[in-house]
Structure 1
Amino acid sequence: MECCCENMKIYELKLEADVDTDPVWCNRCGCNLELDELPISLELKKKLRDWAIQYGEWIDWDNDKLRENGLELETEHNQMGQSLSSKIQKELKGTYTVLFSPSHSAILYMNKESRL
């Protein structure tokens, strides 16, 4: 695996879901990495893809607002992400450090709605 860092060597991975992209990033340069290139089990890759697809289910995209129970849905998503990052770290056996970056979009939407 290569990233956009000067030496193209990855030391720290970041697990962070986003819309329509693989959820693994170089934590140093921010380059999005191909999940298929990560040396982890197919089962874990599937769980990561399923988790990433669920990103933003707490947002009503058509009306640009938080869904009912949105904060709880985002919290559950973040808890699953934390669990998955631990599983990645375990499977990689110390090859990389794996950090988890939780979503904070529900809070942003709550703040936006309170200003309206």
Structure 2
Amino acid sequence: MECCCESGKTNDLKIEGDIGADPFWCNICYCNLEMERLPISDELAKELSSWIVQYGEWIDWENDTLLPGAIQLEEEFNQAGAALAEKAKQELDGKYKITYSPAKSVEMYN
């Protein structure tokens, strides 16, 4: 997979939520990677796309505070992300190393 590393390629990927970004990142240079360039199923791509738009639903962005129930919402987001990372590991078996980086917004606000 092409990335911003000195070599220009990586097989060490992480799945992480962020606003306005695809869920795949180089785990070395932290370059955001285009999901469409990975050999994953359409079903997994749709699940990841649905998951990623939920990032930050526990944050009141206008007031820079957590919403009521933020801990639970972030935990549910992280559980879903971990499950999707496992699916990605299965589909990309042997081609890429996949890790999951959970959201830690609640920690940042406490």
Q: Is the 8 A contact 1:3 1:10 kept in 2?
A: yes
Extract unaligned runs of 5+ from structure 1.
112-116
The corresponding residue for 1:48 is 48
SS at match of 1:93: coil
Over the aligned positions, Cα root-mean-square deviation in angstroms equals 0.8
SS at match of 1:99: strand
The corresponding residue for 1:10 is 10
Size of the aligned set, in residue pairs, is: 110
The structural deviation recorded for 1:5 is 1.0
The corresponding residue for 2:27 is 27
Q: Tell me the percent identity.
A: 53
SS at match of 1:20: coil
SS at match of 2:33: coil
Structure 1 residues 27-49: Cα deviation after superposition (integer angstroms, max 9, x where no partner): 01111100100100011001111
Does the alignment pair 1:38 with 2:35?
no
Larger Rg: 1
The corresponding residue for 1:105 is 105
TM-score (norm 1): 0.91
Displaced runs of 4 or more, over 6 A: none
Alignment of 1:33-112 (within 5 A): 33-109=33-109, 111=110
Decide which structure has greater helix share: 1
Extract unaligned runs of 5+ from structure 2.
none
The structural deviation recorded for 1:7 is 1.3
Decide which structure has greater strand share: 2
